[in-house]
Amino acid sequence: MLQKNVLLIALMLSFYGLFGQSEYKNFSQLTASLKQLNSKYGNLAELKSIGKSVQGKEIWLLTLSKGGKSSEKPAILIASGLDAYHLAGVESSVQIAEKFLQNASKDSINKVLESKTIYIVPCVSPDGYEQAFSKLKYERNVNASNADNDRDGRLNEDGVEDLNGDALITMLRIEDPTGTFKTHKDDARVLVKADATKGEIGKYIVISEGTDNDKDGKFNEDGEGGIVMNKNFTHGYPFFTDGAGEFAVSEPENRALLDFMYDAKNIYAVFQFGAANNLTEPFKFDRAKATQKIISGWQEKDATINDQVSKLYGKAGIKDLPSLPTGGGNFSNWAYYHYGRLSFATPVWSVPKDTAKKAQTDNDDVRFLRWAEANKILNVFVDWKTIQHPDFPDKKVEVGGLMPFVKLNPPTQFLQTTIQKHSQFFLDFVFLMPSVQITNVRTEAVSGGLTRITVDIHNKGLLPTHSEMGERTRHVDKLKIELVHSKSQTIVAGRRMEVVRRAIAGGEKMEVSWLVAGSGSVQVQVSAGTIGKESVNVSLK
């Protein structure tokens, strides 16, 4: 009996090691999960398509809200799947939605869903995402559009080849005296750049697995598809760069996302799950970048908010995520610089730095391999194996390296803790959002039958009504203060409607007054897409 149990456990471990990555849902399964949430929590969740991918897959929007019109409540947006290889972000966004829905009866979450809206676009690039579930697996961060990446007038003429027949595309290392790579001191499987300033000598040329099909001296530079979503947005768009597309926002996937966002005036802040990070690594204020003609640095007040939100992120127990700077044309920067919202990005998960003392190393690949070994996660690395390569007939060529997708996407059981922490973070963040109220209403009879009305517009939240960057763009709905009156009443002094272009900081108040002639009552209204609407009736003296 004991032998049978040992054998069963061994088989289970083997199965887990072989198929740990397949716990992630393919796009059909993801769609089924979203539809199930919509069906089960119909009074709290709404699922709709905001567009289609190049191959016709739906780009789903899941809206969480309770009572009232979701479009009239202040909202946050969580977008994932922009980096097609980042399966962990897609999975996490759906599970966070599920946790909110499962716990909707709790006071804190109930209040959030009653007063706020949570938008989730779990998979912006479904065609790219589905590549992780193809028979031949390799990390492509592109959609299904045809693209001439090497700009030679031909399409898809130099793609990858599976040279060792394992249905995985990894790397080639070619022994060559001109090579710039060497083995890492902590793990000979891992290759790193040789540092000539330290007297290090390279031994290998490293390229992706494949051949030079078009004989132009480059390898796999023009494979099947496509356009990289996070290179195809308007801010810092990298013209004439591989994967950026012919022009900014050329793809149906990101056009669908942007069309939705421009219509959603109630979005206060944007969060991206992907290969970027300003939550554990907040942006620093750089006056030169923040004040130049084409702004490339966060405004001073917004940088302070980024630091504040970063501390909130750490308070939720999320730490040690890697520094991942963004490149040109990415979504997160677009959401801040062109859309004008507070914009945050996180990779959600990374290898814990304190897993074990033996995992301490200066190299992320080594750290990952040691973490995988400590957690008995099998099949994350293809051992280097010598092959005959037609382009290097007289050299030793080996194929191997980290398997596709494993480094950023652990078996889903390892996401559970971070998903719980992120759920708490979003709950905490929503309670920081601006909450504008009309307070200290005073009326005073003035000679000539006039009434002076004075009110305080008070932001009781801890965050400003909009970003400092938002003051510069028309796409952010500004705070509107309006005195609604009848035809028999006249505003003698004060504006009937005032648009406050500057942000009202958390805890700040501003005083507004009017002189009104007539009798009866008037209504003071305060509104903006990102804060909702507040009103109070005032009787004239």
Q: What is the pTM of this model?
A: 0.91
**pLDDT the model gives residue 299:** 96
* Number of domains present in the structure of the chain: 3
Question: Considering the domain boundaries, does residue 11 fall inside one?
Answer: no
Chain-wide mean pLDDT for the chain? 90
Task: Map residue 173 onto helix, strand or coil.
Answer: strand
**Model confidence at 14, in pLDDT bands (50, 70, 90)?**
very low
pLDDT in tens, 438-471: 999 999 999 988 999 999 999 999 999 999 999 9
**pLDDT the model gives residue 290:** 93
Q: What single DSSP character describes residue 283? A: P
Question: Considering the domain boundaries, does residue 18 fall inside one?
Answer: no
Question: Considering the domain boundaries, does residue 142 fall inside one?
Answer: no
Question: Considering the domain boundaries, does residue 363 fall inside one?
Answer: no
Per-position DSSP letters for 81-133, written without gaps between them: -SSTT-HHHHHHHHHHHHHHHHTTTSHHHHHHHHH-EEEEE--S-HHHHHGGG
pLDDT in tens, 32-47: 999 999 999 989 999 9
Task: Let me know whether 217 and 232 are in one domain.
Answer: no
Per the model's pLDDT, the better-predicted residue between 403 and 324 turns out to be: 403
Task: Let me know whether 285 and 423 are in one domain.
Answer: yes
Task: Let me know whether 263 and 341 are in one domain.
Answer: yes
CA 406 to chain centre: 19
CA 385 to chain centre: 37
- Here the CATH number for the domain that contains residue 496 is 2.60.40.10
Task: Let me know whether 467 and 513 are in one domain.
Answer: yes
Task: Let me know whether 104 and 247 are in one domain.
Answer: yes
Per the model's pLDDT, the better-predicted residue between 398 and 150 turns out to be: 398
Q: Which residue has the tokens 């149990």?
A: 5
Question: Considering the domain boundaries, does residue 7 fall inside one?
Answer: no
Q: What residue numbers bound the domain in which 508 lies?
A: 436-539
pLDDT in tens, 310-332: 999 999 999 889 888 888 999 99
Task: Let me know whether 523 and 446 are in one domain.
Answer: yes
Task: Let me know whether 57 and 123 are in one domain.
Answer: yes
Question: Considering the domain boundaries, does residue 243 fall inside one?
Answer: yes
CA geometry: angle at 448 spanning 445 and 449, to 5°? Answer: 50
Task: Let me know whether 241 and 165 are in one domain.
Answer: no
- Residue 508, judged by CB atoms within 10 A of its CB (0-12, 13-18, 19+), counts as middle
Task: Map residue 424 onto helix, strand or coil.
Answer: helix
Task: Let me know whether 33 and 110 are in one domain.
Answer: yes
Question: Considering the domain boundaries, does residue 509 fall inside one?
Answer: yes
Task: Let me know whether 95 and 202 are in one domain.
Answer: no
Task: Let me know whether 424 and 443 are in one domain.
Answer: no
**Model confidence at 358, in pLDDT bands (50, 70, 90)?**
low
**Model confidence at 8, in pLDDT bands (50, 70, 90)?**
very low
Distance CA 62, CA 48 (A): 7
Q: Are 457 and 526 in contact (CB under 8 A)?
A: yes
Task: Map residue 271 onto helix, strand or coil.
Answer: strand
Task: Let me know whether 169 and 286 are in one domain.
Answer: no
pLDDT in tens, 202-212: 999 999 898 87
Question: Considering the domain boundaries, does residue 158 fall inside one?
Answer: yes
**pLDDT the model gives residue 220:** 54
